[in-house]
Amino acid sequence: MQTGYLNTFTAFMKYWRYLTVVALGMLLAWGCREAPEQPVWDVDAYLPLVTSELRLQDALEDSLIETANDSSLRLVYRGTLFSYKIDSLFTIPDTSTEEFVQLPFGTITFQPGQDIVNDTQDTRYDLDDIQLQEAIVLSGSMIVELSSTISENTIFTYTLPFVTLNGSPFTLVENVPAGSIPNPITLTRTLDLTGYTLDLRGIDRNRFNTLVTVYKATVDPNGNPVTITGGDFVRIRNTFSAIVPQYARGYFGSTIETDDSEEATDIFNSLPMGDLNVEQISLDFTIKNEAGADLQVTINELTSINTNQNTTVPLSSSLIGQQVNLNRAQEGGTNTPPIIPSVYTTSFDSSNSNVTDFVSNLPNRFGFDFTYQINPLGNVSNGNDFIYFDKGLDLELDAEIPLFLSARNLILVDTADLDVDDDSREDTDRINGGRLLLYASNHYPVDAFVQFYLLDEDFNVLDSLFAAPTFLQAGRSDVDGRVVAPSFNTLPIPLTPARINTLYASTYTVLRASLTTTDYPQPVRFFDSYFIGLTLVGDFNYRVDFPEN
Amino acid sequence: MRNWICIGLLAILAGGNNSWAQTILSQAEYQPGAAHRCGLHVRSEFGTNSDAITNQFLFGFIDGRTVTESDKDKIMDRTAPLNRAGFDINNGVAFSWRGKNQAVGSGFWVSVFDRQHLNASFTDDMLEVALYGNKRFAGQEAVFDGFSLNFYRYQQAEFGIARALSPRSRVGVGLALIKGEENLEMESDFMRLYTSPLGDELRLNTLLLVNETDTTNKGFEKFNGWGTAISGFWETTLSSPKANNRVVLRLEAWDIGFINWNSNSVRYNIDTLYRYEGTEIVDIFDLQDSVFEAITADTILDELTEGASQGSYTSYLPPQLQASVRVFWKSFELWTGVHHRFTANYLPYAFAQGRYTVAKHWKVGLLAGAGGFGTANLGMDVTFESSHWMIQGGTRNLEGVISPRNFGGTNLFVQLNRYF
């Protein structure tokens, strides 16, 4: 048996050395090889990527567009074009008053509990010809500074008997420690006046703009008698700070104010720039008086301003230059605050104004120049004018603009953020080349030349998607101008690895479209069934491999 | 006592003289000859084949090569309306012994194997879409009917008994316990992919049943199910055992069993016409990531697999049967037979193998076969054989090595028997 083993072993070893060399070689080759890779190959893929329907309605806020009974579209705008807040005329200025008592010479001894000073004052505020009788504080404070050189604790009592909160008068009681002439003691307190009602009729309740204050300084009843010498003083100083009234009542005078200003508007933001003619426009202007005082308003100028095209169109109508008398608002009703405003409304269309040009200018700002007079007939309310916070004069617009228009080379420019996440690079890096096919079915009666631009973060153009602005044909219309069949357009977008890199490097995309309605200058009507159907298809040569896991 | 000593000597290698069959799983080869009482068997094989996919493509998985248009054309030239592919990886050890009073050919064995098996059937259209893309099917329907894919990975421990019924015949049977590791089953009798002429619409119309084990619990050590399987053989010598041209008829069966996958498994029963027109966005300026995310198939798969249900299910292993005849001459043996694997997208495989003793201890074998997962195959093996050792290595797919662009099989096997 042992001999058999030996023979077997010898025979095996004879060849084993060769096998060993081969095996070691294979192991070495295997160990030194690169990590296993995967086979790759290229396929031609047709892959739908994105579908979308572009509707004019979607580009506008729901509140800005309506569908009429005949399913045509119209822009609507109901809102305040301009507000002039006249409550700012009746604020109480940041004024200070002071009670200062000083013994000029000699000495006086005061017993514990004895008043050093006890005085009541009427303080009248200068508000020109405005005569306020009552005000309720929305916000604001009073800063009270108490100073004393008395060599004993002194109790200061500061009271506003006609400034009340829930029926209780405003009162401040402070104990000022003993001081001296070289080292007077001063305490400062800031007190919130929010919600307080100010009765400004003075002590006799027949005045206006007048606040009653009671000052008192008393020797500490638990202290010692104190002798005041020449030069000793007590002082109480109060300052109203940033008082904003929630409500004010009185006579507001009969001032005349003139103002001009501009207000931004976004009503036409979604409409493109260019040669646009909008038909059958109807505008209602409403002037609303929310002040409890008669107003006489004259709109000297109302201007449609398009800062993009640097064009201005003044409104030409009977409203301009006309004195409009507005009765005072009434207190009551269910609104908050309880006001029943008085209103004046006037309507314009193309028959009584240049409203077509005014709107076709596609304003992004409105300019105003107006004059108003409060109480043109004087104090007919016997001092019962009123105003609530943030109320005054409003100019409101109620516009209905049918999308019945003609346009030529109307330029639509829209910029959007582009943030392509690098996570998708693993997929897009496999695209060897090809193109994106944008299939567009156009149901609108508008021909368009379309181009997309890719911009970097500094708005520098990096690339454009189409070699040249690409034509998107209008839908086919019937004799009534209504589109009955969409046009189908194929817009190829060459796609290369370099362009894909540009996509990742881009921060913004800009769509620039030049729009012309069919049969220009005949106006065409837009219906709610119109849309542009978009389908983006990848026509890629795509590298396929197996994911490593 | 001798049996236990044999088990304790697992690490010690000794000699033997058996050959082996068309799979390393053949238990009929385990039994020690007259000169020995026990044997240790180490066996490893990897094999893959397809009647469509070529080795040129397959080798890309090793060296990462780019599959050229010419390579793809070669694959498509081989396709039929319905095509097959499969692979097996089996690695294991077995120990066999014969009792003191048992006859030669009788005995016991225990074995432990790690096994992977995949089989698939697919149409030429499916392969064409995969290799060339769907653009060439614009305006047409690509037919994927009859698609199936079954993948099993499991470990089994088997105990078997062989018994000599007479000096001329013997029989053996083994019972395996199975630890299920991973499974994926996909079956579709009807699956069509339509690409619109403009590429703006894809329509997948399918009846597809998918069973899949817990994808978060993968790995050799993970347990996702259990099962059992039996195997067996019957062998008889048709001529005198002492004749020079002894003729042996053998019938074998493997993998008659099942695996019950646990309740963390998922079943997708997809009966749908899925229409895909791209990611729908409200605003074109929301393009951004949507475009690029749409390129991935995740969103489509998510929608297709919405109706998943979780629960256990049972897979029946594809059973294997083999009938063969071996004729032994002094320095040459001829082995021919038929092997079949049921429910595995497999054609009956016919083979003939000759093995010649070229020198003392050394034999060289040549094999020819047809069927299985592939078409026709040629194989070769080299055997070192002594009184205590048998070491063998080879391949059943030389044609795939010689002409990888035209053939699809790859196979390597190694086995080592030590008898003592």
For B354-388, write each residue's pLDDT tens digit: 999 999 999 999 999 999 999 999 999 999 999 89
Q: Which of B140, B198, B391 to mutate to test the interface with A (most CBs of A within 10 A)?
A: B198
Put simply, the answer to whether B200 touches A36 (Cβ < 8 Å) is: no
A73 within 8 A of A526, measured Cβ to Cβ: yes
**Mean pLDDT across chain A:** 84
Give CA–CA dist A440/A466, Å, rounded.
14
User: What pLDDT score was predicted for residue A511?
Assistant: 77
Among A8, A41, A46, beta carbon nearest to B387: A8
Q: What is the mean pLDDT of residues A43-61?
A: 79
Question: What tokens does B153 get?
Answer: 């990975």
Beta-sheet pairing, B202-212 with B140-143: unpaired
Beta-sheet pairing, B279-280 with A41-54: parallel
Put simply, the answer to whether A48 touches B201 (Cβ < 8 Å) is: yes
In terms of Cβ atoms closer than 10 Å to its own Cβ (0-12, 13-18, 19+), residue A266 is exposed
Whether A406 has a pLDDT exceeding 50, the answer reads yes
> How close B355 gets to chain A, by Cα (Å)?
19
In terms of Cβ atoms closer than 10 Å to its own Cβ (0-12, 13-18, 19+), residue B197 is exposed
Which residues lie closer than 8 Å to B383 by C-beta, 6 or more apart? B19, B355, B362, B363, B364, B365, B390, B391, B392
Whether A350 has a pLDDT exceeding 90, the answer reads no
Give CA–CA dist A493/A424, Å, rounded.
20
Q: Look-up: residue for tokens 């008659």?
A: B256
Q: What is the mean pLDDT of residues A129-154?
A: 92
A12 vs B contacts (CB less than 8 Å): 361, 384, 386, 389
Q: What is the mean pLDDT of residues A511-515?
A: 80
Q: What is the mean pLDDT of residues A413-420?
A: 72
Instruction: State the ipTM, two decimals.
Output: 0.74
Which residues lie closer than 8 Å to A324 by C-beta, 6 or more apart? A287, A296, A297, A298, A299, A344
φ, ψ for residue B287, nearest 5 deg? -45, -75
Question: What tokens does A299 get?
Answer: 């709109």
Give per-residue burial for A370-388: e unless 16+ CB within 10 Å, then b.
bebbbbeeebebeebbbbb
Closest residue on chain B to A506 (Cα): B288
Question: What tokens does A62 get?
Answer: 């729901």
Q: Which of A13, A52, A61, A419 to mutate to test the interface with B (most CBs of B within 10 A)?
A: A52
Whether A312 has a pLDDT exceeding 70, the answer reads yes
Question: What tokens does A13 get?
Answer: 């070893």
Put simply, the answer to whether A39 touches B296 (Cβ < 8 Å) is: no
The pLDDT-based confidence of A115 (bands split at 50, 70, 90) is: very high
Helix/strand/coil for B325: strand
> How close A438 gets to chain B, by Cα (Å)?
10
User: What pLDDT score was predicted for residue A77?
Assistant: 82
In terms of Cβ atoms closer than 10 Å to its own Cβ (0-12, 13-18, 19+), residue B293 is middle
Among A32-36, A147-151, A300-304, B54-58, the minimum mean pLDDT is found in: A32-36
Among A41, A420, A423, beta carbon nearest to B72: A41
> How close B230 gets to chain A, by Cα (Å)?
34
Q: What is the mean pLDDT of residues A291-304?
A: 94
pLDDT above 90: percentage of residues in chain A? 37
Helix/strand/coil for A319: coil
Among B65, B285, B293, beta carbon nearest to A39: B65
Q: Which amino acid is at A137?
A: V
Cα maximum dimension of chain B: 88
Helix/strand/coil for A473: coil
A419 vs B contacts (CB less than 8 Å): 288-289
Put simply, the answer to whether B64 touches A542 (Cβ < 8 Å) is: no
User: What pLDDT score was predicted for residue B1?
Assistant: 32
Quickly count: other Cβ atoms within 10 Å of residue A531's Cβ.
Answer: 19
> How close A387 gets to chain B, by Cα (Å)?
46
User: What pLDDT score was predicted for residue B302?
Assistant: 64
Q: Which of B291, B293, B417, B419 to mutate to test the interface with A (most CBs of A within 10 A)?
A: B291
Question: What tokens does B17 get?
Answer: 């003289």
Whether A252 has a pLDDT exceeding 70, the answer reads yes
B337 within 8 A of B235, measured Cβ to Cβ: no
Whether A24 has a pLDDT exceeding 60, the answer reads no
Count of pairs with CB atoms under 8 A, one residue in A, one in B: 162
User: What pLDDT score was predicted for residue B283?
Assistant: 57
A546 vs B contacts (CB less than 8 Å): 61
Q: What is the pTM of this model?
A: 0.66
Among A39, A43, A439, beta carbon nearest to B132: A43
Residue with more model confidence, B15 or A507: A507
H or E, element range at B357: strand B347-359
The pLDDT-based confidence of A270 (bands split at 50, 70, 90) is: low
The pLDDT-based confidence of A275 (bands split at 50, 70, 90) is: low
B410 vs A contacts (CB less than 8 Å): none
Q: Look-up: residue for tokens 């010498």?
A: A229
Which residues lie closer than 8 Å to A404 by C-beta, 6 or more apart? A72, A278, A279, A280, A523, A524, A525, A526
B407 within 8 A of B400, measured Cβ to Cβ: yes
Question: What tokens does A407 get?
Answer: 């346009």
Question: What tokens does B226 get?
Answer: 């259990």
User: What pLDDT score was predicted for residue B299?
Assistant: 57
User: What pLDDT score was predicted for residue B13?
Assistant: 26
Cα maximum dimension of chain A: 145
Put simply, the answer to whether B66 touches A45 (Cβ < 8 Å) is: no
A421 vs B contacts (CB less than 8 Å): 289, 292
Q: In the beta sheet, which residues pair with residue A72?
A: A527
Listed as ranges, residues in chain B with pLDDT below 50 are 1-21, 285-288, 290-292, 294-295
User: What pLDDT score was predicted for residue B100?
Assistant: 83
Closest residue on chain A to B386 (Cα): A8
Closest residue on chain B to A500 (Cα): B292
Helix/strand/coil for A208: coil
Give CA–CA dist A149/A182, Å, rounded.
8
Q: Look-up: residue for tokens 């200058």?
A: A521
Give CA–CA dist B90/B112, Å, rounded.
10
Residue with more model confidence, A289 or A504: A289
Q: What is the mean pLDDT of residues A3-9?
A: 44
Beta-sheet pairing, B225-237 with B169-195: antiparallel
Q: Look-up: residue for tokens 């940033």?
A: A242
User: What pLDDT score was predicted for residue B303?
Assistant: 63
User: What pLDDT score was predicted for residue A503?
Assistant: 80
Instruction: Find, among A447, A542, A453, A549, the residue nearest to A493 by Cα.
Output: A453
Give CA–CA dist A108/A360, Å, rounded.
84
Q: What is the mean pLDDT of residues A22-50?
A: 60
B130 vs A contacts (CB less than 8 Å): 43, 544
> How close B11 gets to chain A, by Cα (Å)?
17
Question: What tokens does B322 get?
Answer: 């083999």
Closest residue on chain B to A12 (Cα): B384
Q: Which of B200, B218, B363 to mutate to test the interface with A (most CBs of A within 10 A)?
A: B200
Closest residue on chain B to A418 (Cα): B288
Question: What tokens does B410 get?
Answer: 């790859």
H or E, element range at A360: helix A355-360
Among B15, B68, B282, beta carbon nearest to A8: B15
